[in-house]
């Protein structure tokens, strides 16, 4: 492990912040990790130390390397100010997903850091333009969105704001690439790439359930056994937690001017309101415990194929729209969905395999049943079917 002279600041010592700090330490940086909560700081430091101990046990680090990494970790109580971030080359904010809190942190950072310091937000859905808008130098602000757990997940979305300088984007991307991550470029739009394109995996599964088309167990079975996904949508929402998954859906829906394509489900909202957040609380869509019975799916292949193709059609349509609207390149869309959320294959190439015309037919049939705009086909998908060409990949 060689030392890197660039000091990295992390604002937020929760799971994401401490994970990013661990990545930076592992790649030889001095790191300042701060939080307003003493308990969070102690827990974050403990998580990093424990992770390095596991690395030593697995012979991926030596005792000396682990000790050296921990020796260059500085902890900061940010409730007392941001002074310890003054000499950082890059500061990554990883705090609560509230715009006002993030803006306050960025204003405080600008008061202490040098002119050349890059300020990055790990936000998963908030506007980079809004965060940068309160800064005196918005050209040095961008989004650097890691996925949880940051130490394991390879994808990082690089999101410039309207006023972010190109050299800042290049420097940030080179830094994260140097950490062994896979970076993709995303436009500053709600949900960026992954959280926007992935919405139908959850919302269309909920729509199928809410409309009485199939039960949760059958939908999960269809997406796993027919579609090849590692987890079904209801299992995955329970795993992520409804306090996270639902709020991302609602954030994207609101930011998209209440577009029906992203409309949340009351079924999931009621779970959130009841505090039934999924695995972390022992109950969500399913109950978790040794004696908890699980409903058996209706493992009918034709039913499973119908469910899978309807959800896939919505996913491919969203991926096509992301390319059409220049949110990301086709290649970055494919990379993001396979490396960011571990889809079995890229959605655009998957769409070509099934056939754009078949997917368009599914969407148009759904649109006839529900003509509210939720199932409107992407212009790119329509154009590809009309011209008899594959979706770009």
Which is the catalytic residue, given 121, 145, 203, 378? Answer: 145
Residue 318 catalytic? no
Please give the angle made by the CA atoms of 339, 195 and 168, to the nearest 5 degrees. Answer: 75
Burial 206-216 (b: 16+ CB within 10 A, else e): bbbbeeeebbb
- Of 327, 331, 348, 315, nearest in space to 186 by CA: 327
- Of 179, 174, 161, 150, nearest in space to 12 by CA: 150
Measured torsion, CA atoms of residues 344, 346, 349, 351, in degrees rounded to the nearest 10: 70
Residue 204 catalytic? no
Residue 157 catalytic? yes
Residue 203 catalytic? no
Which is the catalytic residue, given 157, 171, 235, 334? Answer: 157
Distances (CA, A) of 41 to 26, 38, 89: 19, 5, 21
Alpha helices (runs of H) in the chain, residue ranges in sequence order:
15-26, 38-57, 63-71, 99-110, 128-132, 166-178, 194-197, 199-210, 216-221, 233-240, 242-255, 266-273, 301-324, 330-339, 347-354, 356-369, 379-387
Please give the angle made by the CA atoms of 174, 177 and 181, to the nearest 5 degrees. Answer: 155
Which is the catalytic residue, given 122, 195, 245, 352? Answer: 195
Compute how many other C-beta atoms are within 10 angstroms of the C-beta atom of residue 260: 13
> Residue 1 and residue 171: Cα distance in Å, rounded?
21
Which is the catalytic residue, given 18, 105, 124, 265? Answer: 124
Active site residues: 124, 145, 157, 195
């Amino acid at each position: 492990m060689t030392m890197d002279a660039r000091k990295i600041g992390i604002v937020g010592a929760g799971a994401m912040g401490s994970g990013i700090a661990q990545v930076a330490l592992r790649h030889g940086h001095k790191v300042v990790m701060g939080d307003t909560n003493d308990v969070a700081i102690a827990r974050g430091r403990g998580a990093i130390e424990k992770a390095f101990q596991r690395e030593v046990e697995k012979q991926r680090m030596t005792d000396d390397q682990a000790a050296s990494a921990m020796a260059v970790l500085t902890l900061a109580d940010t409730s007392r100010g941001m002074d310890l971030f003054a000499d950082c080359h890059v500061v990554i904010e990883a705090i609560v997903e509230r715009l006002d809190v993030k803006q306050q942190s960025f204003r405080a950072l600008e008061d202490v850091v040098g002119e050349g310091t890059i300020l990055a937000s790990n936000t998963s859905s908030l506007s980079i333009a809004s965060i940068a808008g309160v800064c005196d130098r918005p050209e040095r602000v961008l989004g650097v969105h890691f996925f949880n757990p940051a130490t394991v997940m390879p994808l990082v979305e690089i999101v410039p704001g309207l006023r972010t300088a190109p050299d800042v984007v290049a420097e940030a991307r080179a830094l994260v690439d140097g950490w062994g991550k896979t970076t993709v470029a995303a436009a500053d739009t709600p949900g960026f790439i992954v959280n926007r394109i992935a919405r139908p995996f959850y919302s269309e599964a909920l729509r199928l359930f809410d409309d009485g088309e199939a039960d949760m167990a059958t939908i999960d079975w269809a997406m796993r056994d027919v579609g090849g996904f590692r987890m079904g949508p209801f299992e995955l929402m329970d795993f992520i937690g409804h306090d996270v998954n639902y709020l991302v859906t609602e954030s994207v829906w609101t930011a998209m001017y209440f577009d029906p394509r992203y409309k949340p489900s009351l079924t999931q909202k009621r779970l959130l309101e009841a505090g039934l957040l999924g695995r972390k609380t022992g109950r969500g869509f399913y109950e978790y415990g040794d004696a908890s019975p699980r409903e058996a799916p209706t493992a009918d292949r034709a039913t499973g194929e119908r469910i899978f193709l309807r959800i896939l059609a919505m996913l491919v349509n969203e991926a096509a729209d992301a390319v059409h609207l220049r949110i990301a390149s086709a290649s970055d869309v494919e990379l993001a969905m396979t490396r960011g959320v571990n889809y079995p294959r890229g959605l655009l190439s998957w769409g070509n395999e099934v056939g754009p015309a078949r997917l368009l037919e599914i969407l148009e049939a759904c649109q006839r049943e529900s003509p509210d705009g939720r199932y409107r086909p992407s212009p790119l998908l329509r154009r590809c079917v009309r011209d008899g060409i594959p979706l770009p990949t």
